[in-house]
Amino acid sequence: MKDSLRQQLQRLRMRLAELDAHLADPALSQDITRYRAVAREQAEAAALVQRLDAYEQREADLATARALLADPEAAADAEMAAMARDEVTGAEADLVRLLAELQTALLPKDPDDARNAFLEIRAGAGGDESALFAGDLARMYTRFCEARGWRVEVLSASESDLGGYKELVLRIEGDSVYGQLKFESGGHRVQRVPATESQGRIHTSACTVAVMPEPDEAEEITLNPAELRIDTFRASGAGGQHVNKTDSAIRITHLPTGLVAECQDDRSQHRNKAKAMAVLQARLRDKERAEREARQAATRKSLVGTGDRSDRIRTYNFPQGRLTDHRINLTLYKLGQVMEGDLGDVVAALQAAQAQDQLAALEAGGA
């Protein structure tokens, strides 16, 4: 274990003692919110210190076993020497495992990972084929979510003439939605023969995807009503006769930034307004996050990119049945399964790449 990591863990041990003292203070129980925060931090610190104790115990066991092997008298005893060698092998394996567990537990956690998310898909270069690809991406993400038991709700959809979507906004509710989908933000490129192509030529089209965490009510940005323009209009597309005959759809424009959010899936204008406002809040938070990450990237670039929507993050090559994620040089020849929602390998690889980057920073004493 590197000295920098050991020092960080020793500081955590001292912090645990402070947290134990806080929890023993009767005054803390009077503030339930504060009590829960301290209890949560204490539980995380205690789990880490427990692993550190186990690591240091195995270090002592290893030192004892090696000392036995170095002792000529003990080494002459074949049975004792064999036991010492077994102990060395076991202790070394335990130390590798415990160190990996400690490093993983120390990785910085994104507080947004546990949140629900808004997922937006927009057709880009490629005309009708891009809109068809947007529809394919929507199906892929929906199936991925359904396999995990997540709830998917369409907030707004602008369908194209030949099928697919010019723009689609989904709200996804479930366990750790944002943490698994956040790496999907960026440019998605498709290479295939479009249904509209009569000559059999391969075309390249693109869509952009944006994934934003749904903010807690307590963390919502305060919006000045004077800076909002709220328009009502008649919903279009599927939704039933009543929806199409009333001006229940809502579009909200944030004038200072030009950001727009709309919702037309509900018969209630009030509920549509609330949902559109939630999307606008998420977009404003995402804009702030992107600006903050852009500043941070000047000193340290994230391995998996900044989530800039202009980035080309992935290519879907249908003739070769190949998916390539350009951020981590991942290539999978299972495009058919991926388009059916089998994104597990891609998500796991992106999470592992981020963890590896964070571990490198941790070992360097930078985290």
How many other C-beta atoms are found inside a 10 Å radius of the C-beta of residue 259?
15
Contact between residue 49 and residue 98 where contact means Cβ atoms under 8 Å apart: no
Which of 107-116, 242-251, 294-303 shows the lowest per-residue confidence on average (mean pLDDT)?
A: 294-303
Q: How far is CA 205 from CA 86, 150, 189, 332, in A?
A: 59, 29, 6, 20
Residue ranges and CATH numbers for the domains of the chain are: 3-106 (1.20.58), 117-356 (3.30.70.1660)
Rounded to whole angstroms, the maximal C-alpha distance in the chain is 95
Q: Could you read off the pLDDT of 355-367 as tens digits, one per residue?
A: 888 777 766 654 4
Nearest to 216, CA basis, from 33, 28, 39 = 33
Let me know if 276 is exposed, middle or buried by CB neighbors in 10 A (0-12, 13-18, 19+).
buried
How open is the CA angle 158-159-160, to the nearest 5 degrees? 125
- Tracing tokens 């981020």 back to the chain, one arrives at 354
Residue 235 has pLDDT above 90, yes or no: no
Task: Pinpoint the alpha helices (H) of the chain.
Answer: 3-23, 32-70, 72-76, 78-106, 127-147, 177-181, 241-245, 269-297, 335-339, 344-363
Read off the pLDDT of residues 259-315 as tens digits, 9 standing for 90 and up: 888 887 777 778 888 888 888 888 888 887 777 667 645 533 443 444 344 458 999
For residue 304, the model assigns a pLDDT of: 40
Is-above-0.85 flag for pTM? no
Through-space distance between the first and last CA atoms of the chain, rounded to whole angstroms: 15
Please, are residues 196 and 169 in contact by the beta-carbon 8 Å criterion?
no
Asked if 347 and 176 touch (Cβ cutoff 8 Å), the reply is: no
What amino acid is encoded at 83 in this protein? M
